[in-house]
Amino acid sequence: MGERTNITTKDGTFSAYVARPAKPKAPAIVVIQEIFGVNQVMRDVTDGLAGQGYLAICPDLFWRIEADIDITDKSEAEWKRAFELFNAFDVDAGVGDIAATIAHVRKDAGCNGKVGAVGYCLGGQLAFLTATRTDAEASVSYYGVGLENRVAEAEKLTHPLLMHIAEEDEFVPRPAQAIILAALKDHPQIEIHTYPGCDHAFAREGGEHFDAAAAKLANGRTLQFFQKVLG
DSSP state of 69: -
16 contacts 57 by C-beta, under 8 angstroms: yes
CA–CA separation, 165 and 221 (whole Å): 13
123 contacts 99 by C-beta, under 8 angstroms: no
159 is catalytic: no
- Which residue among the candidates 104, 164, 200, 209 is catalytic per the annotation? 200
Give the list of residues 6+ apart from residue 148 with CB closer than 8 angstroms, or none. Answer: 172, 175, 176, 177, 179, 180
- Which residue among the candidates 169, 199, 209, 211 is catalytic per the annotation? 169
The bridge status of strand 26-32 relative to strand 3-9 is unpaired
11 is catalytic: no
147 contacts 128 by C-beta, under 8 angstroms: yes
DSSP state of 1: -
Active site residues: 169, 200
